[in-house]
Amino acid sequence: MGVLMSRRQTVERVQKVSLAVSAFKDGLREQPSTRRRAEAGTARQGTLEQEVQEGEEEALAGPSQPEESSASKAAWERLRDGRGVEPEEFERANRFTPPAFIRPKRELHDDEPPDISLEQREQILNDEMCEICEVWTAESLFPCRICHRVYHDGCLRRMGYLQKDSAVEVTETAHTETGWSCYYCDNLNLLLTEEEMYSLMETLRNCKIIPGVCLTLDDFLHYKHQVHKQQFERTMPEAQEEQAALQFNALDPDKKGHIEWQDFLCHESIQLLQKIRPQNALLRLLTPKERERARAAFLALDQDNDGFIGEGECRQARHTWFRKHQKEMLSCNVSISHVGPISEGSPASSRNSKSPEKILPATKPEETRTIDWPGFLRENVAYILAARPNSAALHLQPLA
């Protein structure tokens, strides 16, 4: 308990300092506007008519305008800090202080190809103590399926990261093949650097996207059209519009008619990573657990053990990264969550393969191009990263 209290006190002290610095910065921002207002008042020697006119303008502006601007500012600040939308209905009493997210920085060697061997397996070790309270309690710790961190469900609740249905999800899936992503890995937006995040925020501002608001199909397509026109200075082709509509359906698996803000943010984050960073830099984002699952997927596809697979098999693997949310697969004893294609003899294969002709014609004409292990990783890395969130949404719809 001593470790827990000291950590909480340290975090609270840092938070108080951050609040003081923010208040000081806000005061500096307000000073120039106040000074300009005073200088303007002395220059024109204020007349009665001007005072009346200013009063009328303030009345027309309405009392709610400052509140809306402050709420909007707070939403953009949460987005910048990687917190997404912080629910305001949380009970603040008896809660841990959420951690400060530190965005990654690009290194000089990031664009160089990483050494990820197919033969050399990696030992997967989880932490022994809870990431939040730093206390070890054996079997009651819930591991993240992406990184090495482990958590108590009680600590997650007191942090505000575990509520209602999500609590059931953690307890039911954390120790299964499906797995559960912690709040670090669940948010793809945290993979962006500060510069990349500001670029995304600028795009969202220009397209009039409000943080925290759900998007309908019309909103999503309008946004995609605007982004395409800003980037290429021409109208988006009809084929790309159809692909955007398919992506919307993938982000709305429950057919609610809208996509959640967090799913939209994750989708845009992985899209930006694909545009800005080379594939070698994306490969460096993979964790040991993800690399091991990729190895298992490739070895399952490489039936003759020659180190190569067909292009159709590689494309087939892209769809399997997102199978972790199909509830009917939880009872299977095979590793189908996000490891790779299912073998033909597995119980899941006989249940989910609708017709054999869907696989054979698709793979035959594509067997002309073979793909080795490094190529398999490069072509699938974006889909592996996009499969991190716990949401059932497909944040990067694989092309047909």
Establish if 395 belongs to a structural domain.
Answer: yes
Q: Do 394 and 281 lie in a common domain?
A: yes
CA distances from 115 to 110, 120, 280, 284, 363 (A): 12, 10, 10, 10, 29
Q: In CATH, what number is assigned to the domain containing residue 169?
A: 3.30.40.10
Q: Do 289 and 391 lie in a common domain?
A: yes
Q: Do 178 and 281 lie in a common domain?
A: no
Establish if 30 belongs to a structural domain.
Answer: no
pLDDT for 262-273, tens place per residue? 999 999 999 999
Where does the pLDDT of residue 76 fall: very low under 50, low under 70, confident under 90, or very high at 90 and above?
Answer: confident
Establish if 360 belongs to a structural domain.
Answer: no
pLDDT at position 338? 38
Residue 393 sits at φ, ψ, to 5 deg, of: -70, 145
| End position of a domain, from candidates 168, 186, 204 | 186
Establish if 352 belongs to a structural domain.
Answer: no
Q: Which residues of 214-231 are buried (b: 16+ CB within 10 A; e: fewer)?
A: ebeeebbbebbbbbbeee
| End position of a domain, from candidates 186, 221, 239 | 186
How big is the CA angle at 179 (ends 173 and 183), to the nearest 5 degrees? 100
CA 252, CA 259: separation in Å to the nearest integer? 5
pLDDT for 137-173, tens place per residue? 766 889 999 999 999 888 888 887 776 666 777 778 8
Predicted TM-score (pTM) of this structure? 0.70
Establish if 250 belongs to a structural domain.
Answer: no
CA 300, CA 165: separation in Å to the nearest integer? 34
**In whole numbers, what is the pLDDT of the chain averaged over residues?**
75
Q: How far apart are the first and last CA of the chain?
A: 53
Provide the 8-state DSSP code for 393.
S
| End position of a domain, from candidates 186, 208, 229 | 186
Establish if 373 belongs to a structural domain.
Answer: yes
The total of structural domains in the chain comes to 2
Where does the pLDDT of residue 18 fall: very low under 50, low under 70, confident under 90, or very high at 90 and above?
Answer: low
CA 347, CA 333: separation in Å to the nearest integer? 9
Establish if 332 belongs to a structural domain.
Answer: no
Where does the pLDDT of residue 25 fall: very low under 50, low under 70, confident under 90, or very high at 90 and above?
Answer: low
Establish if 135 belongs to a structural domain.
Answer: yes
Determine the average pLDDT of the residues in 119-135.
89
User: What sign has the CA pseudo-torsion 264, 265, 267, 272?
Assistant: positive
Domain that holds residue 177: 123-186
